[in-house]
Amino acid sequence: MTLNILVAFKIVPDETLIKISGDKVDLNVPVKISTYDKNAIEEGLELREKYGGKVIGISVGVNDRKTIREALAMGLDEVISITPKTYADALATAKLISEEAKGYDLLIFGESSTDGGDSAVGPMVGEILGYPVITYVRRVEIQDGFLVAERNLTPEVEEVKAKLPCVISVTGEANTPRIPTLKQIMESGKKKVVAKEVEIASSSRLVNLTPYFVPRKKVIIEGKLEEQVQKVVEILRGNL
Amino acid sequence: MIVVYSTDQEKFKKLSGFAQTLSDEVIGVAPFRDNHVKKLIVAKTEDLAVETISEQRPSLVLLSEGKREVTVGARVAARLNAPFSSSCNSLKVEGGKVVVERLGFGGVVKATVELSTPAVVVIQPPDSESREFETEIHEYEGKGKMEILNTKRQTSTVNLQSAKVIVSVGRGIGGKENVKYAEELAQVLNAALAGSRPVTAELKWLPEDRQVGLSGTKVRPKVYIAVGISGQPQHLAGMKDSGLVIAVNKDKNAPIVENADYTVIADAIEFCKAITEALKK
Ligand SMILES: Cc1cc2nc3c(=O)[nH]c(=O)nc-3n(C[C@H](O)[C@H](O)[C@H](O)COP(=O)(O)OP(=O)(O)OC[C@H]3O[C@@H](n4cnc5c(N)ncnc54)[C@H](O)[C@@H]3O)c2cc1C
């Protein structure tokens, strides 16, 4: 059988670049595809290579052209980009994705995003559509209309089977996301992007953001190994 | 009415105690039998837990930290058309709203979020006393949407939360065969051995219950020694509250330097060997 796959990916501020000064958080930094959503895209592409079919991407929120093109360059056939006019929380996002998610055999999400990190949108979409929900998947196979997956639920590892259509979320260890070539990046400009602006209400609200910052001494110890060791031994003796 | 759900007996007890500080009416849902709630519904699988929690029509659902709990919580939230928040470390009810505190952006920030009710919250509850009851127990039977072919439980190898000193290794240790040098250092310091997510979940140089970080265990030992760890936000989120932080890294520009009291610029293996020898004396 061929597979019709929908992969959700979120465009987020690069968390490694977020600047903290005093009690201020500066989120106005370059955006990227949320780390493990790249694993979701990769899983979709690998399944398409194995079973044939199509992989469509869907992204709710920031609609940065360059980042969407990166997802297309990785190999998505098409991207649906939905921009809510006001803040959309996990449930609002799940509702928006559900409306576009009918008719697919498999919906793939990343285990967690690097901004909110609720790990919720995938399971919520599954519930709204009434599909089986299989989270934290690190290995997946399709067998006669069924999905067989290994879930990493530390400290448990579970093997499960469910009838398609299903929703899965993949872990960061499920695969290694491919890096698009220059040619793929050039060609991605020709691929289709369906852009929509929508209204949706959220039932949660971000009240406040403060840095999670613990000041440190930041002393660098360089020099000869014996001297470094001597210093650290003294520091340890003073603190244990 | 509050429903509490956990797949871990210790966490279930703590969570039930916390829920009882908020309401007299607490119903427990768990895959095991327990007597820290007045009424308990035993639901063996995630699918069954989602069904029974949603059927109770609770105004608040509290779940303990854990991957199954997050999954069940998000699904219940969708069923109840309720807002959801995971990784919370505090919760208050204010004017009919639920206000939680949690980490965001990979652990770079603390966020305060307000949820309308009903709400679903995954939380590491504050310590609260838990009472025992003559519990009324129901078994929830049924068939889920997924078939569980097999479940393997890994034995727990460490308790990082109670460790006073932690030696933690990252990808910079270079290979599974080198982890022993950090282990020997841990031994002389009477420390627990931990690791970053790549070292545990991905490369399997250490068992997965030794992962420190946002998606692993959050620790606060007196001394945390990070060996060959770059200090990405998600790792820092799990160890920032440690007493003293010492890093060993060959790169002066690694982000761990900004988040450590002392960084030794050295090769991870050479340093481990040399300091282990020195400490033995
Ligand atoms: C949603 C999400 C959740 C995550 N959760 C976690 C989590 O819970 N815990 C976690 O750890 N990570 C987590 N991560 C991953 C995290 O972002 C980083 O990728 C990870 O922490 C990096 O691990 P590392 O420091 O071991 O490896 P690297 O980043 O590869 O760093 C290796 C370091 O070793 C140094 N080094 C190399 N060779 C030597 C040598 N010979 N001697 C000394 N130093 C050397 C290098 O300079 C470098 O600084 C998460 C990521 C996401 C997206």
CATH number at residue A115: 3.40.50.620
- Is the model's pLDDT at B7 over the cut of 90? yes
Using pLDDT thresholds of 50, 70 and 90, give the confidence band for residue A52: very high
What CATH homologous superfamily does B165-280 map to? Answer: TPP-binding domain (3.40.50.1220)
Q: What is residue B269's predicted lDDT score, i.e. its pLDDT? A: 98
**Pocket flag, ligand 1, residue B273 (CB < 6 Å):** no
Q: What is residue B281's predicted lDDT score, i.e. its pLDDT? A: 86
- Is the model's pLDDT at B127 over the cut of 90? no
Size of interface A-B (CB pairs under 8 A): 256
- Is the model's pLDDT at B160 over the cut of 90? yes
Domain region containing A136: 3-212
Q: Which of B106, B261, B278 sits opposite A229 (nearest CB)?
A: B278
Residue A193 lies in a domain: yes
What pLDDT digit, counting tens, does each position of B250-267 carry? 999 999 999 999 999 999
Q: Which residues on neighbouring strands pair with residue B84, listed in sequence order?
A: B120
Give ranges for CATH 3.40.50.1220 in chain B.
165-280
The neighbour count for residue B214, using CB atoms within 10 Å, is: 21
Task: Share the mean pLDDT of chain B.
Answer: 97
Mean pLDDT value across residues B102-125: 97
Distance separating alpha carbons of residues B241 and B229, to the nearest angstrom = 17
- Look at B145 and A133 and tell me if their CB atoms are within 8 Å: yes
- Is the model's pLDDT at B144 over the cut of 90? yes
Any alpha helices (H) in B108-195, and if so which ranges? 179-189
Q: Which of A209, A217, A239 sits opposite B111 (nearest CB)?
A: A209
Give ranges for CATH 3.40.50.620 in chain B.
2-139
Distance separating alpha carbons of residues A125 and A144, to the nearest angstrom = 24
Q: Which residues on neighbouring strands pair with residue A142, listed in sequence order?
A: A147
Q: Which helix (H) or strand (E) holds A68?
A: helix A65-74
Q: What percent of chain B has pLDDT over 90?
A: 96
Nearest to B272 by CA among B252, B255, B253, B247: B247
Contact between A15 and B106 (Cβ < 8 Å) = yes
Q: Which helix (H) or strand (E) holds B263?
A: strand B262-265
Q: Which value does ipTM take for this structure?
A: 0.97
Q: What percent of chain B has pLDDT over 70?
A: 100
In which residue are the tokens 């991870």 written? B268
- Is the model's pLDDT at A1 over the cut of 80? no
- Is the model's pLDDT at A110 over the cut of 90? yes
- CATH code that applies to domain B2-139: 3.40.50.620
Q: What is residue A155's predicted lDDT score, i.e. its pLDDT? A: 86
Distance in Å, CA B231 to ligand 1 centroid: 6
Mean pLDDT value across residues A201-208: 96
**Pocket flag, ligand 1, residue B251 (CB < 6 Å):** yes
Residue A236 lies in a domain: no
Q: Which of B78, B146, B245 sits opposite A216 (nearest CB)?
A: B245
Residue A230 lies in a domain: no
Nearest to B17 by CA among B36, B42, B31: B36
Contacts of A106 (CB under 8 A, 6+ apart): A3, A4, A5, A6, A44, A47, A147, A164, A165, A166, A167, A168
The reply to whether A117 touches chain B by the CB within 8 Å rule is yes
Nearest to B275 by CA among A184, A156, A237, A68: A237
Residue type, B228: G
Q: What percent of chain A has pLDDT over 70?
A: 100
Distance in Å, CA A60 to ligand 1 centroid: 29
Residue of A nearest to B198 (CA): A173
Distance separating alpha carbons of residues A120 and A112, to the nearest angstrom = 8
What pLDDT digit, counting tens, does each position of A146-198 carry? 999 999 998 899 999 999 999 999 999 999 999 999 999 999 999 999 999 99
**Helix B268-280 with B179-189: angle, nearest 10 deg:** 30
In which residue are the tokens 């790169």 written? B251
Distance from CA of A3 to the nearest CA of B (A): 20
Total structural domains within chain A = 1
Distance separating alpha carbons of residues B28 and B40, to the nearest angstrom = 5
The neighbour count for residue B49, using CB atoms within 10 Å, is: 29
Distance separating alpha carbons of residues A222 and A71, to the nearest angstrom = 42
Mutate to test the pocket of ligand 1, among B185, B202, B234 (most ligand atoms within 8 A of CB): B234
User: What are phi and psi for residue A212, nearest 5 degrees?
Assistant: -100, 90
Mutate to test the pocket of ligand 1, among B200, B215, B217 (most ligand atoms within 8 A of CB): B215
Distance in Å, CA B134 to ligand 1 centroid: 48
Whether omega before B118 lies within 30 degrees of 0, making that bond cis, reads yes
Distance separating alpha carbons of residues B205 and B228, to the nearest angstrom = 14
Contact between A172 and A154 (Cβ < 8 Å) = no
Distance separating alpha carbons of residues B200 and A125, to the nearest angstrom = 30
Contact between B87 and B103 (Cβ < 8 Å) = yes
- In this prediction the pTM is 0.97
Do the strands A192-198 and A146-153 form a parallel or antiparallel pair, or are they unpaired?
Answer: unpaired
Contact between A73 and A180 (Cβ < 8 Å) = yes
Residue A204 lies in a domain: yes
Distance in Å, CA B249 to ligand 1 centroid: 11
Contact between A140 and A168 (Cβ < 8 Å) = yes
Mean pLDDT value across residues B30-35: 98
B155 vs B133, higher pLDDT: B133
What pLDDT digit, counting tens, does each position of A91-105 carry? 999 999 999 999 999
What pLDDT digit, counting tens, does each position of B71-98 carry? 999 999 999 999 999 999 999 999 999 9
Handedness of CA A38, B146, A121, B41 (dihedral sign): negative
